[in-house]
Amino acid sequence: MSVVFLLQTRPGFERDAQQEARTVALERRGLELEPVETGEGFVLLQSDAPLTPFGWRDLAFSRTLSRVIADISLGEKDRLTPILDAVGQRAATFASVWLEWPDTNDGKAMSGFARKFQPLLEEKLAAAGRLGQDASTRLQLFFPSKSRVLVSVSEPQWGAPWPLGILRLRMPTDAPSRSTLKLAEAFEVFLGEQGQQDKLKPGMTAVDLGAAPGGWTWQLLRRGIKVYAVDNGPMKGSCDGHPLVKHLRQDGFRFRPPHPVDWLVCDMVERPGRVAELMADWLAEGSARQAVFNLKLPMKKRAEALADALERIEARMLAAGLAYSLQVKQLYHDREEVTVYLARPAAAGRRRR
């Protein structure tokens, strides 16, 4: 019995998402995934095995994933009945229902329809006993257009905990730049609520390479963390002259702190391989315990550039004989880049994406 997976992506990164998913499935599970369809902001892949070979955290270029149970063409008058018929063929009870669409201008126009349609669908499902608080499976309806819906299901370990795989954050009024949202999202995605409480504590120390004007530094400051802000450019807003900030106009590739720090963050515009090697050097040398950094990817061969950067990290850490933890994600607030979380030591050795 074949299974079709729906991967939701940032528009323009569909090829990268497809290539990565096929590689991960083959390397980790020995499963071959065949392309079914590439749309704007989504990819469909098919497997002849019933296994789900990865979760959303394992894939950098896919925001979330689910298993398709029906691909339905919809009429103008009655969209509800064919969806209920498709769901009725499964015995599962669902914890929740999400209506989703591609992250495109045309897709976003579906949000008004979804607000009206979702309560009608939930009412019918509840009346049929198909919604339950004890259930774990989520029902997801992905609308490439108003005339088509991909009915899919997802478990917590497969799909992201946010509709469309998008964590939406409000821009803080006193942050120096919108880049602050990238680090805020990274902390939420990679650490979660408990991880942030455990690993981002007042009194810790950090280095921010390429700090100006201070978007990433601001996220550390608001948690009471002391920051070496390394950049030849000026710091702005509350980061300029803050008592917890030491602004150093130095080369980010040459700087090292006088003592090891808890955190290293970096949003420098540089070749991904060079940044990856720098981050690995810091952790291998013991200059930092964990790092969050961006890798700016070339428009062509993005997946290949990312693979090369991660191989450089692996080589450096293995040469140092160090266990480590590694997570990679193209966050909602990223653009032509991915964000990486690298930490040592890893409790159970290396953790691949």
Q: Give the residue numbers marked as catalytic.
A: 296
How many angstroms separate the CA atoms of 83 and 146, rounded?
13
Where do we find the tokens 């990433």?
216
Where do we find the tokens 């569909």?
14
Question: Read out DSSP for 138-198?
Answer: EEEEEEEETTEEEEEEE-TTTS-SSGGG----PPPTT-SSTTHHHHHHHHHHHHHHHHHHH
Cβ atoms 343, 289 nearer than 8 A = yes
* Continuous segment of H or E residues that includes residue 339: strand 337-343
Structure tokens given for 137: 């499976």
Structure tokens given for 224: 């009471």
Which runs of consecutive H residues, i.e. helices, occur in the chain? 14-29, 80-88, 105-108, 111-127, 180-199, 215-221, 272-285, 302-319
Where do we find the tokens 């992201």?
160
How many angstroms separate the CA atoms of 319 and 151, rounded?
47
Cβ atoms 217, 240 nearer than 8 A = no
Structure tokens given for 313: 């990290």
